[in-house]
Chain A
Amino acid sequence: MRRKTGSLVPLELAICTAALALRERGVDQFHGYLIAKELKDASDAKLLTAYGTLYRALGRLEQMGLMTSAWEDPQIPADANRPRRRLYAITQDGQTAVANARETSTAPLATPRVSLT
C-alpha cells in the first residue's frame, strides 16, 4: 500500500490506539494475541486480525519507531509452561503519531471505546 511518509494506515493507527487503551488500563506491554483481542473488541469484528496482517503491521510500527518489542524472560514461560511471548509497547513517538492522526483526521476513529485524553 502506498502512503505518505510518516502516515499510518488504519490498522497501524488502530493498533497504536488499542495500545494506548491498554496502557490506560495499566497494561504497558502486550503480546500479539492480546492486541488482536483488543482490536476485535474495539471494532466489534467477528474474527481476530489475521496472523500475517497483525505481525506485519507490528513489525512496521517497530521499524517506524512507534513500538518497541522484547522477548520476555525465558524463566516466566518455563514456569507457566507456555511458549515465550514477544512483548510490545507503544513509544512516545507512537503516542504522538496517534494524537497527530486524530487531529488531522476529519472522520472519527474506528475504535470508539478508546479515549486519547
Chain B
Amino acid sequence: MSASESSPRNGSRLRLAGTASTSPPSGRANGAVNFARWWTRVYTAGLPDDLRAARRAEVESDLWESVSDGAPSRHILARLALGIADDLTWSLTFMDTSTRATAKWSVGSLLVFVLAWMWLTLAPESPAVRESQWAFPAALVFHVLGLVLLVGMRLPLDLKLTGWAFRGVPASQIASRTAPWALVGAVVAVVSGMVLYTADTARLASNPVFQLKIAALAAALVNAWFFHAVLSRRIADWDDAAAPPALAQASGYVSLLLWIAVVAGGRLVAFY
C-alpha cells in the first residue's frame, strides 16, 4: 500500500463547513484554517505534482477533523507555527535542485532583510562598545575583513557576467565555488557591522552616507537573490556562451556599482 497508488485528488471536494455532523467553523477558525491552507500551498509550491497534492489533501483532511472536533483557532495556528521548520526542511528535501536553490535564496534573503530591519530600528545604543579599548577596533577589523572576503568573492562572478574576464570559465562554476566564501564574508561583515552600529545608533541612523550604504547593500542583496534564485535557473542555457544574456550582464554591472557604493559608503561614513 502506498500513497502513489491512488491520487488524493480523486476524492470529494474538500470542504470544512456544511457537514451534517458538525456545525460550521467560526470566523476565527475559518481564518486559521485559511491561513494553514495558504501556508501549505506556499511550502508545497515547488514540489512534484503527486507529492504536492498528497500533502495538501492530508493537511486539508487534518484541518477538517480539527474543526469538526472543535479545535480552537489558536490550536490550529500553534500546530501550524510549531511545524514550520519541519515543513520547510521536508519541502527542501523533495525539491529539484534549481527550485531548492531558489527557495533557499528567497527565504535566506527575506530573513536577512527582516533581521537587518529589526536591528536597525530596535538596536540599543551601547556605550560599552564605543568606549571599549578593544571591542570597537576588533569589530572594525572583522567588518573590513568580512567585506573584503564578500566583495572579493563576488567580483569574479561580476567580471564573468559583464564579459570582462573569465571568458573560458562557466559562470555556474564560478558561482558555485565563490558563493560559499562570499556567504562567510557576508556573515562576518553583517555580524561585526551590527556590533559597530550599536556604538552610535542615533548618529548613524541619521547619517545620509550610512543610509546610502544600507540602501546599496539592500539593493545588492536583491540583485544577488535575482541572480541565484532567478537567472541561475536557466544558467545551463548560457553557461558556456561567450557572452551571457543581457539580463545576466545587467546583473553583473549593477552588482559592481552597488558593491563599489557599499565599500565607498563604509569608508565615507566617518566624514559626514
Contacting residue for A50 out of B1, B3, B69, B83, CB 8 A = B83
Q: Say yes or no: B19 contacts A81, CB within 8 Å.
A: yes
A25 within 8 A of B: no
Q: Restricting to A61-89, which residues have a CB under 8 Å from any CB of B?
A: 62, 68-72, 74, 77-78, 80-86, 89
Q: Say yes or no: A71 contacts B11, CB within 8 Å.
A: yes
Q: Say yes or no: A48 contacts B7, CB within 8 Å.
A: no
Q: Say yes or no: B85 contacts A83, CB within 8 Å.
A: no
A12 to chain B minimum Cβ distance, whole angstroms, is: 13
Give the contact stretch, choosing among A15-23, A30-38, A92-100, A109-117: A30-38
Known: A50-B86, A52-B87, A55-B59. A86 touches B79 (CB 8 A): no
Contacting residue for B62 out of A33, A56, A62, A68, CB 8 A = A33
Q: Say yes or no: A84 contacts B15, CB within 8 Å.
A: no
Bound form: Cα–Cα A80–B14 in Å: 11
B240 within 8 A of A: no
Q: Restricting to B68-87, which residues have a CB under 8 Å from any CB of A?
A: 68-69, 71, 75, 78-87
Bound form: Cα–Cα A71–B11 in Å: 9
Known: A70-B2, A86-B61. A53 touches B11 (CB 8 A): no
Q: Which residue of A lies closest to B81 (CB)?
A: A50
Q: Say yes or no: A77 contacts B58, CB within 8 Å.
A: no
Contacting residue for B90 out of A36, A37, A52, A81, CB 8 A = A52
Bound form: Cα–Cα A85–B85 in Å: 24
A47 within 8 A of B: yes
Contacting residue for B86 out of A31, A48, A53, CB 8 A = A53
Q: Say yes or no: A47 contacts B75, CB within 8 Å.
A: yes
Interface residue count on the B side (C-beta < 8 Å): 45
A83 to chain B minimum Cβ distance, whole angstroms, is: 4
For residue B58, which residues in chain A have a CB less than 8 angstroms away from its CB? 32, 55, 86
For residue A70, which residues in chain B have a CB less than 8 angstroms away from its CB? 1-3, 5-6
Interface residue count on the A side (C-beta < 8 Å): 34
B28 to chain A minimum Cβ distance, whole angstroms, is: 17
Q: Say yes or no: A84 contacts B86, CB within 8 Å.
A: no
Bound form: Cα–Cα A89–B19 in Å: 27
B163 within 8 A of A: no
Known: A50-B82, A69-B3. A74 touches B11 (CB 8 A): yes
Contacting residue for B18 out of A36, A81, A86, CB 8 A = A81
Known: A33-B61, A55-B55, A56-B90. A50 touches B80 (CB 8 A): yes
For residue B55, which residues in chain A have a CB less than 8 angstroms away from its CB? 55
B178 within 8 A of A: no
A27 to chain B minimum Cβ distance, whole angstroms, is: 14
Q: Restricting to B201-219, which residues have a CB under 8 Å from any CB of A?
A: none
Bound form: Cα–Cα A114–B13 in Å: 37
Q: Say yes or no: A50 contacts B19, CB within 8 Å.
A: no
Q: Say yes or no: B60 contacts A83, CB within 8 Å.
A: yes
B252 to chain A minimum Cβ distance, whole angstroms, is: 38
Contacting residue for B61 out of A31, A54, A89, CB 8 A = A31
B113 to chain A minimum Cβ distance, whole angstroms, is: 24
B12 within 8 A of A: yes
Binary CB contact string for chain B from 211 to 234 against chain A (1 if under 8 A, 0 otherwise): 000000000000000000000000
Across the A-B interface, give the 5 residue pairs with the lowest CB-CB distance, nearest first: A52-B83, A84-B11, A50-B83, A52-B86, A52-B87
List A residues at the B interface (Cβ < 8 Å): 31-34, 36-37, 47-56, 59, 62, 68-72, 74, 77-78, 80-86, 89
Contact sample, A vs B, 10 pairs, CB 8 Å cutoff = A33-B61, A48-B79, A50-B78, A50-B86, A51-B79, A52-B84, A69-B2, A71-B6, A71-B11, A82-B61
